[in-house]
Chains A and B, each alone.
Chain A
């Protein structure tokens, strides 16, 4: 199974400042079709998860452009350019390159 490791566990951020979350996979996420199925999800308090980014860097419909994803192979990053109050929650990376699908442990973004 592919293990997804996120850092940090918690990220206190000042409103308007950037935030960055790292995700590392235990093996390459490059699929045999050439794509890398690494996604980022956001879970606000009391809400279901919501897809933010798919295939490393593609923003899903309706996702603000302050969210961006990057990386390759086994190392990936989610960046929030300027944190807003509505960004508070837990962020998960997820790989769908192979079964079983696996998630990172989550990073809690909170306002200082």
Chain B
């Protein structure tokens, strides 16, 4: 059974940093593109970033370029999102998803990031 478990969310002040992680199981992690998608409270879905199987290609939505970094550790079956210079409008539930080049097949339960003073 495919499982994606996000962690690392919490309350952070504007300008602060946070590192999200996603631990994958039930599939061969190293052979899949992986993505982060976020959802602000009461709003729709917004794609954030995608990384290729070997980490050699990374893509970001314009609003996070230069502030967020997606990475992965295939030995640990883990996906990460380093978020710096956080803003109030980054407040959202962040979902880890398997895929990104064609479709997003599986989603985690999400982790809530709240940016507030």
Contacts and interface: CB of A to CB of B under 8 A. Distances in A.
A54 B103 contact: yes
- Helix, strand, loop or mixed for chain A's interface? loop
A89 B109 CA distance: 16
Interface residues of B, number: 24
Given A49-B95, A105-B44, A39 B107 contact: no
Q: What does DSSP make chain B's interface, helix, strand, loop or mixed?
A: strand
A99 B44 contact: no
A100 B61 contact: yes
Interface stretch (B12-20, B23-31, B45-53, B84-92): B45-53
A3 to B, nearest CB: 13
Given A99-B59, A102-B47, A48 B104 contact: no
Contact of A103 (B44, B50, B59): B44
Interface of B: 35, 37, 44-47, 50, 59-62, 95, 99-110
- 10 closest A-B pairs by beta carbon, nearest first, are A101-B47, A54-B103, A99-B59, A103-B45, A39-B103, A48-B107, A106-B44, A100-B61, A37-B102, A49-B107
